[in-house]
């Protein structure tokens, strides 16, 4: 498969995400766009209303000889896990995946402003990876040096490596953000019997209509562990059936 065919085979929003990430990062790397125009800056966002920083900080990454490998790893995770999540879990409802990306982006911005993180790529990528891993807990994934373990442990392994080598807590914020979405989208309604709080807005459904036909199911929502609801008993007793002795 040549590069063009591979690129076109990526799901729509994963392709947009990867393109924005690589494009903006390279433009900044070659000083075509100043990096300080694009990173998240709380004072610039609220004081000068430079609202675009809330979007560009999700994609831009400061590429240098010391960070290039880290950048490539993040791109790999976008291709690997965003593609799987978009195709398998949200294949028939792309608007739901777009809404997932929007919710994760909002949470990443909140986390970035609270913890003074200028570049949100790490926590954004890890939030999406966490959601895929939760929906595919028992799938075996491969890691460095041939190690293999269940997907449910992957986000924590990544967070540990990031803390050991870079003393960064951004991946832990990403895990938290991913869990917030996963809890309110799946666990709260299925395990606790609550109402669905992260339903996709109708305007997104109209903007990106659902796709009929086909099938999905590689990563399915977990089965509900909430106890089944019993029908209320008749306060007047069970009564007797007519025609029986």
User: Exposed, middle or buried: residue 26 (CB in 10 Å: 0-12, 13-18, 19+)?
Assistant: middle
The total domain count for the chain is 1
- Average pLDDT for 169-183: 94
Report the C-alpha gap between 162 and 74 in whole angstroms: 12
Q: What is the model's pLDDT at position 224?
A: 46
> Where is average pLDDT lowest: 141-155, 190-204, 231-245?
231-245
Within a domain: 216: no
Contact of 60 with 29, CB cutoff 8 Å: no
Within a domain: 221: no
Q: CB 45: neighbour CB atoms within 10 A? A: 17
Bridge partners (DSSP) listed for residue 142:
148
Closest CA to 150 of 132, 176, 163: 132
Percent of the chain with pLDDT over 90: 67
User: Exposed, middle or buried: residue 148 (CB in 10 Å: 0-12, 13-18, 19+)?
Assistant: exposed
Report the C-alpha gap between 110 and 100 in whole angstroms: 16
- The CATH number linked to 42 is 1.20.1540.10
- Count of helix runs (H) and strand runs (E) in the chain: 12, 2
Q: What is the model's pLDDT at position 226?
A: 46
pLDDT of 192 strictly over 80? no
- Average pLDDT for 103-132: 96
Contact of 25 with 59, CB cutoff 8 Å: yes
Q: What is the model's pLDDT at position 168?
A: 85
Q: What is the model's pLDDT at position 215?
A: 40
- Average pLDDT for 154-169: 88
Q: What is the model's pLDDT at position 34?
A: 95
Contact of 163 with 169, CB cutoff 8 Å: yes
Q: What is the model's pLDDT at position 189?
A: 73
pLDDT band at 182 (very low <50, low <70, confident <90, very high): very high
Report the C-alpha gap between 25 and 56 in whole angstroms: 10
Overall pTM > 0.85: no
Q: How far is CA 237 from CA 223, 233, 240, in A?
A: 34, 8, 9
Tell me which residue range forms the domain holding 26.
Answer: 10-207
Within a domain: 224: no
Report the C-alpha gap between 64 and 54 in whole angstroms: 23
pLDDT of 31 strictly over 90? yes
């Amino acid at each position: 498969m040549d590069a063009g065919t591979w690129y076109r085979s990526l799901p729509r929003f994963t392709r947009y995400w990867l393109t924005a990430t690589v494009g903006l990062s390279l433009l900044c790397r070659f000083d075509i766009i100043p990096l300080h125009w694009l990173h998240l800056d709380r004072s610039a966002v609220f004081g000068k209303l430079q609202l675009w920083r809330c979007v560009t900080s999700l994609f831009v990454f400061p590429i240098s000889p010391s960070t290039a490998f880290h950048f490539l790893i993040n791109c790999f995770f976008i291709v690997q896990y965003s593609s799987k999540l978009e195709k398998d879990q949200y294949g028939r409802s792309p608007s739901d995946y777009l809404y997932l990306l929007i919710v994760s982006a909002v949470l990443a911005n909140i986390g970035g402003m609270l913890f003074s993180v200028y570049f949100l790529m790490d926590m954004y990528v890890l939030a999406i990876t966490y959601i895929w891993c939760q929906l595919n807990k028992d799938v075996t994934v491969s890691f460095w040096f041939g190690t293999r373990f269940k997907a449910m442990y992957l986000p924590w392994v990544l967070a540990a490596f990031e803390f050991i080598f870079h003393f960064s807590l951004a991946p832990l914020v990403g895990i938290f953000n991913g869990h917030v979405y996963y809890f309110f989208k799946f666990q709260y309604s299925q395990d606790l019997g609550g109402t669905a709080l992260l339903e996709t807005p109708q305007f997104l459904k109209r903007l990106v209509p659902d796709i009929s036909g086909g099938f999905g199911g590689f990563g399915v929502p977990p089965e509900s562990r909430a106890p089944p609801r019993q029908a209320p008993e008749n306060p007047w007793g069970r009564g007797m059936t007519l025609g029986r002795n």
